[in-house]
Structure 1
Amino acid sequence: MVLEKDMSKIKVLHIITRLDKGGSAENTLLTVSLLNKEEFKVTLISGHTNDPDKEIASFITQKNLDYFLMPELVRKISPLKDIKAFFKIYHFIKKQGFDIVHTHTSKAGMLGRWAAKLAGVKIIVHTPHGHIFYGYFGWFKTKLFIYLERLTGPLTDKIITLTQRGKEEHVKYRIARPDKFVPIYSGIDVGKFVDFHADAVKEKEKLNIPLDVPVIGTVTRLAPVKGNQYLIASLPEVVKLFPTLKVLIVGDGSERGKLERYVKKLSLLENVIFLGICKDVRGILNTFDIFVLPSLNEGMGRCMLEAQALGVPVVATKVGGIPEVVRDSIGGILVPPRNPEAMAEAIINLLKNKSLRDNMSEEAKRWVGHRFSAGAMVEKISDLYKELIGAM
C-alpha cells in the first residue's frame, strides 16, 4: 500500500509493538483515529497481535486508517527479527517522509526512535505507557531497559507520560532532561461507558449470580506485578461478613494457575470466579458494587477509569499513577500495597455503606468525564505536535 502525498497535512507515523487488548493499544488506537484528518495524515505500524487480527482490521477499516502490519516487530528480544524490523521501519520512514514519528511502548520505542533519527526525521515523540523501573522484570532486564532508555532519551524531542508521577519516575531514573517530559492523561471513550445502560439484573443472571448477592471484582492481567494474590488474601475477612460475596476476576496471564490454587487453598471456590479475557467488560463492570485493583506498580490503571465512568467505586493500592486517577475518599479508597488487611477493611467499609458507595459513584463519573476523555487527550497531543512543528 502506497500512501498518497498531501503536502498540506502534517504526516505522523505511530509505531507500537503490538495491539493486544490493553491500555497502550487502546490509547494508541484512540489517538490515531481521533486526530483531525484535515490537519494530520496519520499512519500506524504494529506487529502481530495475540487478539484476533480481524478485530483490529475491522476497527482500522471502520476508522479508515492507514495501517501496516510488520510481523518482525515482536515484544520479546529477538536479534534477527529486531534487526529486520529496524531496517524495515527505517526504509518505510525514508520512503514516506514523515514529519513526526511517535512511538509507543519499549520495543517499538527503541527501534522506532533510532530508525527515525537515522532517517532524518525532525520530530520524534515517545509514549512509554507506564514504566518498567521496578516490579515488571528481573534485576538484569530492568537495568538493561533503563540503560537503553537513557541512550534513546536524547534522540527524543518529547516523552509523553500518562501521569505526573510517571514524569517524576522517569526524571528520577535520568531517562532524559525534565523539560522533555509532557504529562498527558490517557483518555477513554467516556461516552461508551457513561451512555452504557445494561441491565445489571440480566448481567447477573448470565453469570448465575442472585440479584441480592454483593459483587466485587477486577479487570487485570494475571501477572505478579498486578498483586492479585493480595486481593485473594484479603477475601477471607470479607467473606466472614458477606458469605455470599462473588468476586469476578476478568483477565488472564501467567499467574492464573497459581491464583486458582490459592483460591482453593483458602476455601474460596464458592466465591471467586475466573472469567478469563472478555471482549467487552462493560456489562460485567455494571454488576460490580466495588472495583478492586491491588497492583504493586501501575502506570495509570486505565481499567479504573472505565469502572469509574460506569459509576463503580474503587478500592486500589496507592502506587504509581493511581492516586492521580482515583481521588481517595471521594471516588474510592486507596490502601497501601501488599496489605490484605487494609484492603479487606476498605472493601468491608464500602459493602456496609451503600450511601457512601452511591456518593462515590456520582463523584467518580463526574471526575472521569471532566478529566479523562479521549477527546481531551487527543487535543493535547495535537497541540503538542503543532507546537513542535512550529518550533522547527
Structure 2
Amino acid sequence: MEILQALFFPPEQPGGVSSMIPYVQERFNKAGWPMEMFSLPKRLRGKGQEEVTFNTFDVAQFAGNPIVDKYVQTYRDYIWWTRMRIKRSYDLIHAHHPIAALAMKKLYPETPLVMTIHSSYERELILNGKIQPDGPEHRFLTSIYGELEETVDRLLTVSESFRNYMVPYIQRPDEVKVIANGYDERRFKPISHENAVPQLITVCRLVPAKGLDILLHACADLKQRGFNFVLHIIGDGPIREELEQLAVELELYDDIIFYGYMLHPEEFMPFFDVFVLPSRAEAFGSVFAEAALCWLALVGTDVGGISEQIEDGVNGLLVPPDQPAALADALEKVLSDPTYRYNLARAGWEKAKKAYSLTRVISELKQVYTEACPNTK
C-alpha cells in the first residue's frame, strides 16, 4: 500500500504533527509500506484561483470576512500547489489539516482519504482574542467539521475530549476514532541530574491560549513565598514582548529565560525538573507526553487532552485554568519536595512509554488503512 501523508505546513513547524509524522513515515517505510509527505510551502500565497464550494453549507454567506477569505484562499492555494507538484496516484491519503483533506479529496475523489483532526483553529482564535464566539468566523470554521464528515472516508482525532468537542457540529460522532499521538522513544533520553535551584520549563507558541500570563503571575506568587527557581520559556509568538514586559512588572525578569523558537526542544528538556503549561484549551497537548518521556514532573490545566494524560497526584498535577494561585500551590508541591517530584516524574514516564508509544500508533494506523483499502496490500 502506497500512502501520502498530507500536512498543512512542512513538518519542521512546531506541534504534535511535526513531533510524530516524520517518525511514522520512517517506521512505515521500514515495514515495506511506502509513505511520502506533502505540504504547502509557508510563503506560498495567492496563487490559487479555484472556485470554492462546499457540499454542506453555503460559503458565500461568509464572503468579505477577512479570516474566512484567507482560509478559502489558502484552500485554493493548496489545490493549486497539489496540481503543480503531485503527478502520481496513491492507494490512500492521510490528511492532517482540514484544508489538506478537502483539497486532496477534491482532486482525487476516488482515493480513500483518512483525516486526523489535531486541533481547533476556531477555539484558538477565540482564546487569542481574534474572533468572537458564535460570530461569522466561528460559524464558518465549525461548519468545516460537518463538511469533513461528509467528504472524507474516515475521521480520526487525538483525544476523547476533542471528539466530544465536535459533537455539536457533526452527525455521527460515534464513528470518529480516537488515536492519541505517539512518539519515538529514541528521541527522548532522560538524564540523571541534580539542580541546586529547581528548573521549570515550558514549551509552546507564545499566544494567549497557552496561559503564560497565568504562569508568570503564579511564579510571582511563588517568589513571594520564598521559593527559588528559574523558568525557561521555549517558543516564540505575537505576545512575547508583552510577556517580557509582564515579567519586568512582576519583578521576575532575572528568574526567566526567553529562548525563542527551538526546533528540537526534547534535546534540551531532560536537564530540567518540572514541565508546566497552564493552557486554556488543548486538543491533546503533545508537549506533555514529550516532557514525561524526558522524565520531568508535569503540571498542567484540567482541560482537553491534558486531563486525559495526567491523573492528578499520580503522574502529574492538574489545576483549573486561569487560576494563578492554584497553579502556584501545585508548583509549590513539586518544588518543595524533590522525592514527590521524582515519583510524579517516574509515574509520568511509565505512562507515556506505555500509552504514547509510536509502536501503538503504527499498529492502530495500519488497521485503519487496511479497513479503508481492504483490497490493497
Report TM bin, short chain: 0.7 to 0.9
State whether residues 45 and 70 of structure 1, in contact with CA within 8 Å, keep that contact through their aligned partners in structure 2. Answer: no
From 222, 230, 234, the equivalent of 2:218 is 234
State whether residues 218 and 327 of structure 2, in contact with CA within 8 Å, keep that contact through their aligned partners in structure 1. Answer: yes
CA distances 1:25-44 after superposition (whole Å, capped 9, x unpaired): 22222222221555422222
SS at 1:273 equivalent: strand
Matched, 1:359 2:359: no
SS at 1:390 equivalent: coil
Q: What is the deviation of 1:230?
A: 0.6
2:296 alignment counterpart: 312
Matched, 1:191 2:183: no
Q: Greater RCO between the two (CA within 8 Å, min separation 6)?
A: 2
Matched, 1:109 2:101: yes
State whether residues 249 and 273 of structure 1, in contact with CA within 8 Å, keep that contact through their aligned partners in structure 2. Answer: yes
TM-score, structure 2 length as denominator?
A: 0.84
Matched, 1:77 2:65: no
2:52 alignment counterpart: none
State whether residues 132 and 142 of structure 1, in contact with CA within 8 Å, keep that contact through their aligned partners in structure 2. Answer: no
Distance 1:114 1:37 in 2: 30
Matched, 1:131 2:120: yes
* Identity within the alignment, %: 24
The number of equivalent residue pairs is 348
Higher mean C-alpha displacement, 216-225 vs 77-86:
77-86
Matched, 1:215 2:196: no
2:8 alignment counterpart: 17
2:208 alignment counterpart: 224
- 1:134 partner letter: R
1:259 alignment counterpart: 243
2:39 alignment counterpart: 46
Q: Structure 2 unaligned runs (5+)?
A: 49-66
Distance 1:236 1:369 in 2: 34
SS at 1:316 equivalent: strand
Assess, with a 3 A threshold, how the Cα gap between structure 1 residues 78 and 156 changes in structure 2: closer, same or farther.
Answer: closer
- Aligned pairs for 1:88-99 (under 5 A) are 88-89=81-82, 95-99=87-91
State whether residues 12 and 100 of structure 1, in contact with CA within 8 Å, keep that contact through their aligned partners in structure 2. Answer: yes
1:164 alignment counterpart: 160
1:32 alignment counterpart: 25
Q: What is the deviation of 1:145?
A: 1.1
Assess, with a 3 A threshold, how the Cα gap between structure 1 residues 281 and 81 changes in structure 2: closer, same or farther.
Answer: closer
CA distances 1:59-99 after superposition (whole Å, capped 9, x unpaired): xxxxxxxxxx99969x9926566424314535766x52322
CA distances 1:117-169 after superposition (whole Å, capped 9, x unpaired): 2xx22x11111112235243413323211112312321112112111112221
Matched, 1:177 2:169: no
Assess, with a 3 A threshold, how the Cα gap between structure 1 residues 127 and 281 changes in structure 2: closer, same or farther.
Answer: same
What CA RMSD, in Å, does the superposition of the two structures yield over aligned residues? 2.6
Distance 1:39 1:21 in 2: 28
Assess, with a 3 A threshold, how the Cα gap between structure 1 residues 236 and 277 changes in structure 2: closer, same or farther.
Answer: same
TM-score, structure 1 length as denominator?
A: 0.81
CA distances 1:271-305 after superposition (whole Å, capped 9, x unpaired): 11111122332353223221101100101111111
